[in-house]
Chains A and B, each alone.
Chain A
Amino acid sequence: MEELVYQQLNETVYKETLDNGLQVFLLSKPEMAKTFGIFTTNYGSIDQTFTPIGQDEQVTVPEGIAHFLEHKLFEKEDRDVFQDFTKLGASANAFTSFTKTAYLFSATSHIEKNVETLLDFVQDPYFSEESVEKEKGIIAQEIRMYDDQPDWRSFFGTIQSMYHQHPVKVDIAGTVDSIQEITKDDLYTCYETFYHPSNMTLFVAGNIDPDEMMTLIRDNQTAKEFPEAPVINRSYPDEPVEVSEKHQSITMPVTTAKAMVGVKENVKELTGKELLRAELLSEMILDFYFSRSGAFYEELYRNDLIDDSFSFETELDRQFGFTILGGDTRKPDEMTKRVKEMLHELKDASISEEDFTRMKRKKIGQFMRALNSLEFIANQFTHYDTLGGDLFDVLPVIESLTTKDADEYLKHWIKEEAISVFQVKPQDA
C-alpha cells in the first residue's frame, strides 16, 4: 500500500494496485460519521464500438447500453441489490456518464459489509430476457422525463450541434427506440469486456481505518477468479475539428427561451496533467470575463441578454472536450451573437497580474470548498486518475499558472469553425 501525502491540504491517500489489476484508493476521515464508496469502470456511453473480449471482429452495440447495464446490475436472480444496502442502513446509487459507469453507496454503519456488497454485486451480473424487457419501460420513462426538461435539451442539443459522428452526441440513456434492441447477450458482451478489475477503480473515503479496509478489499478480490486482463480495443470515428452545425434551434413549450454557445475543444494530444491544466485555465478565463465580476457578464446582464441562470463549464475528457456558455434569455439571437463576438475578442485580450491573482485565489477557494465533500474527492480523484492525472495537483498547478499562460491560451483558444449556437425557443415566438 502506497501513501500519497498532500501536505498543504493535510490529506493522505492510500493507493494499491491489486493482482487482478483493480486500482484501490482510500482516504481516511475519522471525524466524519459517513463513509462513501464508489466503484467505477472506465466505460461510458461513448464506448459503443469495440472488439469483445475473446473475439476478433469489432461490434457496435445499441445506443444507451452502458446506462441500461448500470440499471440491470442492481437486479439479481432472487432480489434487488437496493434491498441489500437497505438492510445495512446504507443508501446506494449509480450513474453513467460519457466515459464512466459508477456504483456507489454512503453509510454511517456496517461499512465493511457495505464495501463487500458493493464489490460483490458489481462483480456478479445476472441478466435474463425477462428482466431486460421489464427495464425497457422504466428507462423509457427516464428518457421521457429528460425530453420534457428544457435545460437538458439545450445542453445536449449544443453537444449534438458540435459533433459530426462522435458518439458523445448520442444521449447517454439512448432513445426509446434504440433501447428496444438491447438483449441479454449484448449486456453480457459489454459487461465481460469492460468490467474486468483492470479497467476499474474503487475509492473509499470517510470513517475508515486504511489498513483494515485495504486488507478486506484485497481478501475479497483474491477470493474471486478473473480471466487475464484483456487489452480493450475500442474505436471511435474520426471527428473533424470544426463543428457539425453552426446554428441550430428547436421549439419547446417554454415561457423563456434558452440560448447556448458551444466551443468544441481539441483534446486529442493532451495527457492527464495537461487536461487538468487546460481545464483550470479555461475555467479561470471564463470566470474572469463571464462570472458576476466579469466585464462581459456585466454588459450582458445590464442589456437583459442573460439572467441569474447564466452559467458556463468546460469539460475535457478522453476523446472529446467542450465549453458551453448560456442560460435563459429573452433575446436568444442577440445573446448568442454578442457572446460569440465576445469569445472572438478574447484573441487580443490580456489579463493583468492583479486580476489574474484574484482569479487564482478564487479557484483555490472553490477547490478548498469542494474538498469538504467526500463525494467530490472520490469522484474527481477517480476521474483524473483514469486520465493519468492527480486531483490534488489542482493546487500546485493553479499556483504555477502565470498571466503569460493565460494570454497564450487566449490567443489560440477561439476559432470560428469550432463554435456552435443552440437555442430553445418558445413555440409561439
Chain B
Amino acid sequence: MKVSEEKLYNKQGYRLHILPSNKYKTITIVAKLKSPLKREGITERALLPHVLQKATNNHPNIRSLQSAFENLYGTALSSDGSKKGENHVISFRMEVVNEAYLNDSEPILEEAFKLFHEVLFDPKTEGDGFDPEIVSREKQTLEQKITSIKDDKMSYANVRLMDNMCAGEAYSLHVHGYQDDLSSITPKTLHDYYQSMIQNDLLDVYVIGDIDEAQIEQMTDQYFSRSNSSNDDNDQVAEVKEVTESKEIVEREEVNQGKLHIGYRTYTKFGDDDYYALQIFNGIFGGFPSSKLFMNVREKHSLAYYAASRFESHKGLLLVFSGVDPKDYDQAKTIILEQMEAMKNGDFTEDQVNETKEQVINQLQETMDNANGLIEVLYHQMISGAEMPAGDLMENIRKVTKEDVVKMANKIKLDTIYFLTSLEGGE
C-alpha cells in the first residue's frame, strides 16, 4: 500500500511529508497550518486565505501574481480554512505540471516553490500592516460570504443544526467567521494575527508526485523553514458532551423543499478501537445507496431524492440529512428514527456487514488514488496520533463483526432534530 511509503522528516519549523508516486502528471504541494479552534481569531483566520492569495511584496497586485502562476503552466494555488474537530486548519494547495510532460526546459517546479513561499511568508505589506485596499476589499468579500450562507439551504440547515446542537462548544464556531468582528479588523491587526499564526501554528508540508526526493528536500528547506517555530503538536481534544435530553427545532424560511437534518453523538473518534465499527455502522445506516436511509426514505416511500448520513471523526458526531416535502416531515422523521432503532436491534445481516466492509475499503482505496485525498487521510491520522499503514487500516475494517456494529449503534445518542421548512408548511 502506498501509504506506508510516506517519508516523514522533522525539519526546522515544519514537518515534511514526501510521497513519491507515479500516478500523476503533476506534483502537488500542500502546506497546512493548525491551531486550536477559538472564537477569538476565527474571523481573522477566515479572512487571511483571501488576503494572502491576492498579492506579495514581489508581485504587488492580483494581476501580476496570477500572471506569474499562469506562466508556470497554469500552476494553481488555492487556500481555505476548515475545522478538524476543535482545531482550525488553513490549507494551501498548489499543483504544478511535472516538467517531464512539457516541451520546455525552464525550471517550473523551483519557480513555483518560490511563489508559494512569497504567498505564505512575504505577503504584500504597507507600513506595519497589509495593503489597506486589499484588506478592505476582502472584508467585503468575506462579509458577503457570511451573509449568503443562507442562500444555500443545505449548508444553512447544517450550520443551524450545529448552532443548536453544539451551542457553547468550540465546534459550533462558524468557519467563515462573524460579521460583527469585521469592523474592528484593520490592516495592522490582521497582520499582527498573521505574524503570530505564521510563527506559532503547527506547519505540515506534503509533496506528492513523480519527484526527485533530494531535490524536493532541498527546496522545502529553502522555502518552508521557520527559525523560531516548534514542531510540537498543539492538538486540541474536542469536548465530549453527554446528552441528557434530545431537542427538536423547526425553523421557517421561504423554501420549496424542507431540509431535515438530525445530529447524533457517537462518542467515538478516529484512533479509537471501535472507530472501524463506526465506519461499518455508517455504511449500513446511511453511507451508501444500499443503506437503510436510502432504501427506506427514498426507494420504499418516495419521500426524498437524497437521504444519507456521514460522521465527523474528530468531534464524534453522526449527521443525517434529507430533503423532503414540508408536509412529509413527520413521516420522514419517523422512518429515519426507526432505521436507527433497527440498527440498535441488530436488524441487518452478516452479508450486509461484509458488503459494507468492501464498500468502505473501496472508498478508502479510491480516496488514496487522489493526491489531495491521500494527503487528507495521512494528515487526519497524523494529528489524531493514530498513524497506521493502509494495510492495517483495511485489516481492522475487515475484523469488524455484526456484534461490534450493534454495540456501536447502542453507543450512539440522538441529540438534535432540526427541520428547515416553508413558511406555511406543516410540521
CA separation between A395 and B83, bound complex, in Å?
39
**Stretch from A49-57, A146-154, A344-352 at the B interface:** A146-154
Q: Mark A251-295, 1 if CB is under 8 A from B, else 0.
A: 001111000000000000000000000000000000000011111
Which of B61, B75, B303, B306 makes the CB contact (< 8 A) with A365? B75
**Stretch from B140-148, B340-348, B379-387 at the A interface:** B140-148
CA separation between A89 and B363, bound complex, in Å?
9
Minimum distance in angstroms from A368 CB to a CB of chain B: 5
Q: Contacts of B71 on A, CB cut-off 8 Å?
A: 358, 361
* Most B CB within 10 A of own CB, among A301, A304, A307: A307
Asked, given contacts A8-B103, A31-B22, A369-B26, whether A138 binds B304 with beta carbons under 8 Å apart, the answer is: yes
Q: Contacts of B253 on A, CB cut-off 8 Å?
A: 253
Q: Mark B83-114, 1 if CB is under 8 A from A, else 0.
A: 00000000000010110011100000000000
Residue of B nearest to A363 (CB): B74
The answer, yes or no, to whether A372 is at the interface (CB within 8 Å) is: yes
Minimum distance in angstroms from B360 CB to a CB of chain A: 9
Which of B63, B76, B355 makes the CB contact (< 8 A) with A294? B63
Q: Mark B110-150, 1 if CB is under 8 A from A, else 0.
A: 00000000000000000000000000010011001101101
Q: Contacts of B25 on A, CB cut-off 8 Å?
A: 9, 368-369, 371-372
Which of B72, B140, B295, B355 makes the CB contact (< 8 A) with A87? B355
The answer, yes or no, to whether B9 is at the interface (CB within 8 Å) is: no
Q: Contacts of A427 on B, CB cut-off 8 Å?
A: 254
Which of A89, A256, A371, A372 makes the CB contact (< 8 A) with B148? A256
The answer, yes or no, to whether A139 is at the interface (CB within 8 Å) is: yes
The answer, yes or no, to whether B362 is at the interface (CB within 8 Å) is: yes
Asked, given contacts A86-B355, A90-B362, A372-B26, whether A255 binds B63 with beta carbons under 8 Å apart, the answer is: no
Q: Mark A63-84, 1 if CB is under 8 A from B, else 0.
A: 0000000000000000010110
Residue of B nearest to A75 (CB): B299
Which of A137, A149, A363, A371 makes the CB contact (< 8 A) with B152? A149
Q: Does A148 contact B95, Cβ atoms closer than 8 Å?
A: no
Q: Does A328 contact B23, Cβ atoms closer than 8 Å?
A: no
Q: Contacts of B369 on A, CB cut-off 8 Å?
A: 32-34
CA separation between A109 and B67, bound complex, in Å?
44
The answer, yes or no, to whether A366 is at the interface (CB within 8 Å) is: yes
Q: Does A372 contact B323, Cβ atoms closer than 8 Å?
A: no
Q: Contacts of B23 on A, CB cut-off 8 Å?
A: 29, 31-32, 372
Q: Does A255 contact B151, Cβ atoms closer than 8 Å?
A: yes
Minimum distance in angstroms from A27 CB to a CB of chain B: 13
Q: Does B290 contact A365, Cβ atoms closer than 8 Å?
A: no
Q: Contacts of A328 on B, CB cut-off 8 Å?
A: 144, 148
The answer, yes or no, to whether B361 is at the interface (CB within 8 Å) is: yes
The answer, yes or no, to whether A3 is at the interface (CB within 8 Å) is: no
CA separation between A149 and B148, bound complex, in Å?
12
Q: Does B144 contact A89, Cβ atoms closer than 8 Å?
A: no
Minimum distance in angstroms from A305 CB to a CB of chain B: 12
The answer, yes or no, to whether A302 is at the interface (CB within 8 Å) is: yes
Q: Contacts of B63 on A, CB cut-off 8 Å?
A: 292-295, 298
Minimum distance in angstroms from A147 CB to a CB of chain B: 5
Minimum distance in angstroms from B364 CB to a CB of chain A: 9
Residue of B nearest to A150 (CB): B151
The answer, yes or no, to whether A337 is at the interface (CB within 8 Å) is: no
Asked, given contacts A141-B304, A294-B63, whether A148 binds B257 with beta carbons under 8 Å apart, the answer is: yes
Asked, given contacts A33-B366, A137-B303, A328-B144, whether A147 binds B256 with beta carbons under 8 Å apart, the answer is: yes
Q: Mark B190-220, 1 if CB is under 8 A from A, else 0.
A: 0000000000000000000000000000000
Minimum distance in angstroms from B111 CB to a CB of chain A: 12
Asked, given contacts A107-B362, A255-B150, A255-B151, whether A141 binds B70 with beta carbons under 8 Å apart, the answer is: no
Interface size bucket, A side? 35 or more
Q: Mark A233-267, 1 if CB is under 8 A from B, else 0.
A: 00000000000000000000111100000000000
Minimum distance in angstroms from B46 CB to a CB of chain A: 13
Q: Contacts of A113 on B, CB cut-off 8 Å?
A: none
Q: Does B66 contact A144, Cβ atoms closer than 8 Å?
A: no
The answer, yes or no, to whether A91 is at the interface (CB within 8 Å) is: yes
CA separation between A120 and B64, bound complex, in Å?
54
CA separation between A298 and B61, bound complex, in Å?
10
Give how many A-B residue pairs fall within 8 Å (CB-CB): 175
Q: Contacts of A411 on B, CB cut-off 8 Å?
A: none
Q: Does A368 contact B366, Cβ atoms closer than 8 Å?
A: no
Minimum distance in angstroms from B36 CB to a CB of chain A: 27
Minimum distance in angstroms from A376 CB to a CB of chain B: 12
Total interface residues on B, CB under 8 Å, equals 69
Q: Contacts of B323 on A, CB cut-off 8 Å?
A: 141, 144-145
Q: Contacts of B325 on A, CB cut-off 8 Å?
A: 141, 144
Q: Mark B248-289, 1 if CB is under 8 A from A, else 0.
A: 000001111100000000000000000000000000000011
Q: Does A368 contact B73, Cβ atoms closer than 8 Å?
A: yes
Q: Contacts of B304 on A, CB cut-off 8 Å?
A: 138, 141
Which of B22, B95, B257 makes the CB contact (< 8 A) with A141? B257
CA separation between A374 and B144, bound complex, in Å?
36
Minimum distance in angstroms from A359 CB to a CB of chain B: 7
Residue of B nearest to A359 (CB): B70
The answer, yes or no, to whether B153 is at the interface (CB within 8 Å) is: yes
Q: Does B97 contact A365, Cβ atoms closer than 8 Å?
A: yes
Q: Does B70 contact A293, Cβ atoms closer than 8 Å?
A: yes
Q: Does B101 contact A9, Cβ atoms closer than 8 Å?
A: yes
The answer, yes or no, to whether A128 is at the interface (CB within 8 Å) is: no
The answer, yes or no, to whether A61 is at the interface (CB within 8 Å) is: no
The answer, yes or no, to whether A106 is at the interface (CB within 8 Å) is: yes
Q: Does A82 contact B289, Cβ atoms closer than 8 Å?
A: yes
The answer, yes or no, to whether B388 is at the interface (CB within 8 Å) is: no
Which of B62, B101, B365 makes the CB contact (< 8 A) with A298? B62
The answer, yes or no, to whether B302 is at the interface (CB within 8 Å) is: yes
Q: Does A254 contact B151, Cβ atoms closer than 8 Å?
A: yes
CA separation between A255 and B62, bound complex, in Å?
27
Minimum distance in angstroms from A74 CB to a CB of chain B: 9
CA separation between A145 and B305, bound complex, in Å?
8
Minimum distance in angstroms from B297 CB to a CB of chain A: 10
Q: Does A148 contact B256, Cβ atoms closer than 8 Å?
A: yes
Q: Does B74 contact A308, Cβ atoms closer than 8 Å?
A: no
Which of A82, A298, A308, A363 makes the CB contact (< 8 A) with B50? A308
Q: Does A91 contact B151, Cβ atoms closer than 8 Å?
A: no
Q: Contacts of B148 on A, CB cut-off 8 Å?
A: 254-256, 328
Q: Contacts of B50 on A, CB cut-off 8 Å?
A: 308
Q: Contacts of A169 on B, CB cut-off 8 Å?
A: none
The answer, yes or no, to whether A364 is at the interface (CB within 8 Å) is: yes
Q: Contacts of B29 on A, CB cut-off 8 Å?
A: none
Q: Contacts of B288 on A, CB cut-off 8 Å?
A: 86, 91
Could you jot down 15 A-B contacts, CB within 8 Å? A9-B101, A80-B295, A83-B290, A136-B302, A137-B303, A148-B257, A253-B255, A254-B150, A294-B63, A298-B61, A304-B137, A307-B145, A328-B144, A364-B74, A372-B26
Q: Which residues of B contact A (CB under 8 A)?
A: 21-26, 50, 61-63, 66-67, 69-76, 95, 97-98, 101-103, 137, 140-141, 144-145, 147-148, 150-153, 253-257, 288-290, 294-295, 298-299, 302-306, 323-325, 355, 358-359, 361-363, 365-366, 368-371
Q: Which residues of A contact B (CB under 8 A)?
A: 8-10, 29, 31-34, 80, 82-83, 86-92, 106-109, 134-139, 141-142, 144-145, 147-150, 253-256, 291-295, 298, 301-302, 304, 307-308, 328, 330, 358-359, 361-366, 368-369, 371-372, 427
Instruction: Pick the 8 closest A-B CB pairs, nearest first.
Output: A365-B74, A137-B302, A89-B358, A365-B73, A293-B66, A362-B74, A142-B305, A86-B290
